[in-house]
Each structure stands twice: as structure tokens, then as C-alpha cells.
Amino acid sequence: MARRAFRFAVQSFSAGSAAEWRDKARRAEALGYSALHLADHFLGPGEAIAQTAHPVQELAAVPAMAAAAEVTERLRIGCRVFCMDYRHPVMLAKEAATIDLLSEGRLEMGLGAGWLRGEYEAAGITFDPPGVRIERLAETVELLKKLLAEGPVDHQGKHFRVSGFEGAPRPVQRPHPPLMIGGGSRRVLQLAGQQADIVSFNFNNRSGVMGPDGIKTSTAEETAKKLAWVREAAGDRFEQLELEIGAYLTFVTDQGRQTAEGLGGALGLSADDMLAHPHALFGTVDAICDELERRREIYGISYVTVSDEVSEAFAPVVARLG
């Protein structure tokens, strides 16, 4: 696989105020990050979200993306990733095309099958078996591509039936904004290999909650398996794919091994497992840069997303490799 240049993104779960959100977007751009991502979760504080162990996503993704685009010039705007069960593809296509138009072509379109069981249940949304959700995701991708292209839409699928209109507005990016498909299961990653522009490696969140199980399904060995699934499904188009990963456990520190050992002990993994974990980064700026370059050689991963909580400390890595 041809070695791609590094790109880095910030993912945010909090805002505080309108001014703080705008400042966060401006700061991400000023620090050299390529993109600012939100997540697509909607539960506020309370028992339901606490049981999932997932952080509260304070802002709704679509209006927050629009606000971030308005106060930046180069920063790409995305959601990592939209849950296809939370809005109809026709509405999602309308919102996506509008953001791409108003941002003058800076949207990254992330899609996923949905996984946070407690959020579904709290909102009264049916949480179908994984096979059904992934099947619906595949059809959503097919329909979105039609809606974002030119010409009348006629789609008569198993889950969606639409006809008699054209999608509007037209996105600036043609034939559509870069499509990111994210997940950790074989079927989702094979779909990404076949249909996405950006493949986002994530935990296999089969349990429906955040926790050690997801982290253990995403070790170096398991990520190599995931990469093989993508490569197999992508075939000749594999060389055109951009591979992205969330470095959720990032610690810029001169105590890298000690930090990895402490965290690994709590998760049932060794320090070596944690240091090589593709979703984790430990150590000084030099050590992290070396590790990212090593992983790019092994996996081809060149697009890395970190939490906004570490974006300032991680900025020297962005400056050196971005």
C-alpha cells in the first residue's frame, strides 16, 4: 500500500458554551489538525448513559458541525460516526449536502451501524440484531450515494423506499463528500472496504457498552485481522483507501511505559500489549511519532483521531508529522 501523508483530527464530546465551542474549532485549526469530529449520541446526563459508560455528548452533531464550519476556513468537519438508525437517509443526505455547501466542501461523511444499546433503549428505538443493523447500514450507504448524486432518485430497498424527487442541494464535493465507514466487526469493515473512502477502525462494541471487552478486541493482533478483512473486501480499490483510527487512550508523558503498565493492569493486558495497542499512544512526543510511523508501515494507518482533552499536549506530534 502506498504510504499516505499523516492527517490528524480532534474528537469532541463537550462544549460548555457557544463561545467555547467556536474557540475549540478555531484552536483545532490553529494547531494544525485536519478535522474536527463529533460523535452521534444524544442522551444527556442520567442513569441511562451512566450504565453505558459512554461520555455524554453535549451537542447535537449537525448544528455543532455547521457552527464549527462557520468560524474556520480550512478545518474539515465530520461526525465519527452518524448512527444510521437515528435519522432517515433522506434527511441525513439533506443535512450533509447543506453542510458541505455552506462549508465550501469541507464535510467528511461518517457512518456506522449503531451500537450503544442503552441509548436505543432509553429513547425507545428498536435495537435490532447486528446483522439487521449492518444490512440497514449497507442500504443507507447505497441510498445516500444516490441522494447526493445528480438526477432523480428511485430506491426500492428492504428498509427504505423513496422516489419522485432529486436530492438537493448538490454537495460541493463530487460525486459526494468523502465517505467514512467505521466499526470493529468483520461485516462492517468489509462494507467499508467495498464502499468507503475512509475506513475507520474502531472497537468491536459487541457488548453494547464501553468497557474492557472492546479494548481487548482491538489489540495489535486483532487490528491486523481487521486490516486483512478490509483488504480482502476492497480488492483493487484498497490502494485508494485512507485508513483512520481513534487513539482513545493517548498520554503524552515521559512515563510512557509506567502509564501503559498501570492502565494495562486494570484492563487485563500487559504493558507491551498496551504500548502496541493501535488505539493507544504512550510516551514523549518523540516516542509517539516513532510509534505512529511504525504503525503506518505495518497497518497503513495514516489518519489518527485524538480526544480534545489531549489536543494541546498532542499538538507537537501534529506539527512534526502532519
Domains identified in the chain, total number: 1
Phi and psi at 54, nearest 5°, equal -95, 140
The arithmetic mean of pLDDT across residues 209-233, rounded, is: 86
Average pLDDT of the chain is: 94
pLDDT for residue 320 is more than 90: yes
How distant is the alpha carbon of residue 189 from its chain centre?
A: 13
In tens, the pLDDT along 54-99 reads 888 889 999 999 999 999 999 999 999 999 999 999 999 999 999 9
Query: What is the Cα–Cα distance from 210 to 55, expressed in whole angstroms?
Result: 9
Is 2 part of any domain? no
Beta strands, E only, 80-203 = 82-83, 107-112, 152-156, 161-166, 179-183, 198-201
- Residue 140 C-alpha cell reads as 443507507
pTM of the model: 0.95
Query: What is the Cα–Cα distance from 283 to 269, expressed in whole angstroms?
Result: 18
Quickly state the pLDDT bin for 207 (edges 50, 70, 90): low
Judge whether 156 and 88 are in contact, CB under 8 Å: no
Quickly state the pLDDT bin for 50 (edges 50, 70, 90): confident
* DSSP bridge pairs for 167: none
pLDDT attached to residue 210 = 55
The arithmetic mean of pLDDT across residues 129-140, rounded, is: 96
Query: What is the Cα–Cα distance from 190 to 196, expressed in whole angstroms?
Result: 10
Quickly state the pLDDT bin for 51 (edges 50, 70, 90): confident
- Domain span at residue 106 reads 7-321
pLDDT attached to residue 211 = 60
Is 59 part of any domain? yes
* DSSP bridge pairs for 282: 251
Instruction: Indicate if the alpha-carbon torsion angle 301, 307, 308, 314 is positive or negative.
Output: negative
Query: What is the Cα–Cα distance from 16 to 24, expressed in whole angstroms?
Result: 10
The arithmetic mean of pLDDT across residues 31-41, rounded, is: 96
Query: What is the Cα–Cα distance from 139 to 129, expressed in whole angstroms?
Result: 16
Q: To the nearest 10°, report the CA torsion of 301, 5, 192, 245.
A: 40
pLDDT for residue 213 is more than 80: no
pLDDT for residue 206 is more than 70: no
Short-list 284, 285, 280, CA closest to 262: 280
At 72, which amino acid appears?
T
Query: What is the Cα–Cα distance from 40 to 165, expressed in whole angstroms?
Result: 28
H/E stretch holding 100: helix 89-102
In tens, the pLDDT along 303-315 reads 999 999 999 999 9
The arithmetic mean of pLDDT across residues 107-132, rounded, is: 94
Q: Is 164 exposed, middle or buried (0-12, 13-18, 19+ CB in 10 A)?
A: exposed
pLDDT for residue 117 is more than 70: yes
Could you tell me the CATH number of the domain that includes residue 164?
3.20.20.30
Is 182 part of any domain? yes
Is 208 part of any domain? yes
pLDDT for residue 190 is more than 60: yes
Query: What is the Cα–Cα distance from 113 to 108, expressed in whole angstroms?
Result: 17
Helices (H) and strands (E) in the chain, counts: 13, 13
- Residue 303 C-alpha cell reads as 489518519
H/E stretch holding 7: strand 7-11
